[in-house]
Amino acid sequence: MCALKINTMEKYFSEEEKAEKIYEYIDKFIVVLPEFDYFQLHKFIEKIEPNPDERKKISSINSDIRIAMQKLKLIENPPHGNAVFVLTEKGREVKNKGGYFNYLNNSKPKTDWFKIIPIFLTFIFGITSSVFLYLNYSLNTKNETYKTENQILKKENDSLKKINIILQNKK
């Protein structure tokens, strides 16, 4: 009795684990793939995992790995290639960085101190000059009030001297 057996792939990973494993295997695959030659992804499974049980796990998500690598623009189908792939410019850059995770760590923008320091100094000097302007203004207004008070006191002093002279003459 002949019958067809439906081949159902065994699920080795939950949906959460699957996403993590896809990126983990992308990191492993990208290092062993050729830079400029055509390749088929499934032929490199043995190179990244010698254990047959682990290879079954990789094979179960092989198409997801391929799709993720295409979405990340690490691989692409060449113009006349049907079932083969080639690394893109970004894929070669990731390979040269030593893997996908190394690429992500190295591609984070670094702080450019040559831009930040002048902005910080400009801010500090702006605040300092504002403080000096305020202090200069307040000192000038106080100086003017003191000058007017001084003139008033001089006039009073002169008038008191005159009164004192007049009183001494009367004695």
- Has residue 7 got a pLDDT over 60? no
User: How confident is the model over 61-104, as pLDDT tens digits?
Assistant: 888 888 999 999 999 988 877 778 889 999 899 888 888 888 88
Confidence of residue 116 (pLDDT cuts 50, 70, 90): confident
- Has residue 1 got a pLDDT over 60? no
Long-range contacts of 70-78 (CB under 8 A, 24+ apart): 72/26, 72/100, 74/26, 74/30, 74/100, 75/33, 75/41, 78/38
- Has residue 112 got a pLDDT over 70? yes
Q: CB under 8 Å to 66, separation ≥6 — which residues?
A: 41, 75, 85
| 156 or 50, greater pLDDT | 156
Confidence of residue 36 (pLDDT cuts 50, 70, 90): confident
Tell whether pTM > 0.75: no
At 24, list the tokens: 């983990």
Distance between CA 134 and CA 130 in Å, rounded? 6
